[in-house]
Amino acid sequence: MSYVLKKSKADSAVDTVLYAVLAAFALATLFPLYYVFVVSVTPFAELMRNGGFVILPNQVTFDAYKEIFSSSRIPRALQVTVTITLLGTFLNLVVTTLLAYPLSKKFVPGRSFFLLAIVFTMLFSGGLIPSYLVVRAIGLYDTIWALVVPGMVSAFNLLIMKTYFESLPAELEDAAKVDGCGDVSTLARIVLPLSMPIMATLGLFYGVTHWNEYFKGIMYISDRSLYPMQVLLRNMIQTPNVSQELMITNTLQAAQLPPETIKMATVVVAIVPILLVYPFLQKYFIKGMLIGAVKG
């Protein structure tokens, strides 16, 4: 015999209020993205008629997207951003894993010292000028590697991965060693297959950081052909002549497009790839955060 619990009127009212508040927060979060996209596809004449604010355009045009991709700057900046995101995330995960795995073993000599040194870097840094001088001294300035090598390992992400490794059953590794596996084989065959949630989580952390790379691009890159997407977008926002910044050759068509429309289209191009990737990693992201944050 089953019983169905009915909600009281007070509980239903509370649920209604909560859903309304959540809906309002969702609308406040999504509306700026929606507005950016709408402006990027709204004809200039309609924007002018509505004072630059349009929610539902009567006509849709993709002229702004045609213009920004007719320039060599946007595809090149997008290529640089994709390169540093894929290469940087791969190297981040490799180095973080190779550091976190031995630090998760309490019997490793000097473990406490290295953990203290890692935590110390979360509180104090060498400073901006020394970092810049080091990058120039080792020949990374004005290269793709200047956007990848500095900050190769995040101390926060390293500690999360170390905690995750500590939560794995030690019996699995002991059984692998009994079967003749060394430390490297145990890591590759036992630990890594069980660590996909934390790998996806930290991969998303590192990937989003590289995709939104802005500060290093300003500090370490002076060659315009190596600008990542966010630096190019920043330059577009600061300059009144967007066509000149993007080196658009079709000046007549560019003159018919307002600078704001081209800027909004560039913003859409910059954020869409991350929006497309995140849904596929959301399950692993949530699971990895829950397991990696608390041991046990």
CA-CA distance, 232 to 176, in Å (whole number)?
50
pLDDT at 91 over 90: yes
Of 157, 187, 172, 199, nearest in space to 293 by CA: 157
89/159 same-domain check: yes
Average pLDDT over residues 57-76: 82
Per the CB < 8 A criterion, the answer to whether 104 and 165 are in contact is: yes
Neighbours of 257 (CB within 10 A): 22
- How far is 172 from 214, CA to CA, in rounded Å? 42
Whether residues 72 and 57 share a domain: the answer is: no
| Cβ contact 93:206 at 8 Å | yes
Can you tell me whether residue 154 is helix, strand or coil?
coil
User: Do 78 and 144 sit in the same domain of this protein?
Assistant: yes
Whether residue 286 is predicted with pLDDT greater than 80 in this model: the reply is no
* pLDDT surpasses 70 at 79: yes
Q: Using an 8 Å Cβ cutoff, are 47 and 60 in contact?
A: no
Check whether 86 has a pLDDT greater than 90: yes
Q: What is the largest CA-CA distance in the chain?
A: 77
What CATH number did the domain enclosing 178 receive? 1.10.3720.10
- Of the pLDDT bands very low, low, confident and very high (cuts 50, 70, 90), residue 23 is very high
Answer yes or no: do 292 and 187 share one domain: yes
Structural domains of the chain, count:
2
106/49 same-domain check: no
Quick check: 102 pLDDT over 70? yes
Residue 88 to residue 274: CA distance in whole angstroms? 15
Q: Are residues 49 and 80 in the same domain?
A: no
* Residue 247: band (very low, low, confident or very high) from pLDDT cuts 50, 70, 90: low
Same domain, 125 and 13: no
Same domain as 170, residue 87: yes
Lowest mean pLDDT among 112-126, 145-159, 213-227, 233-247: 233-247
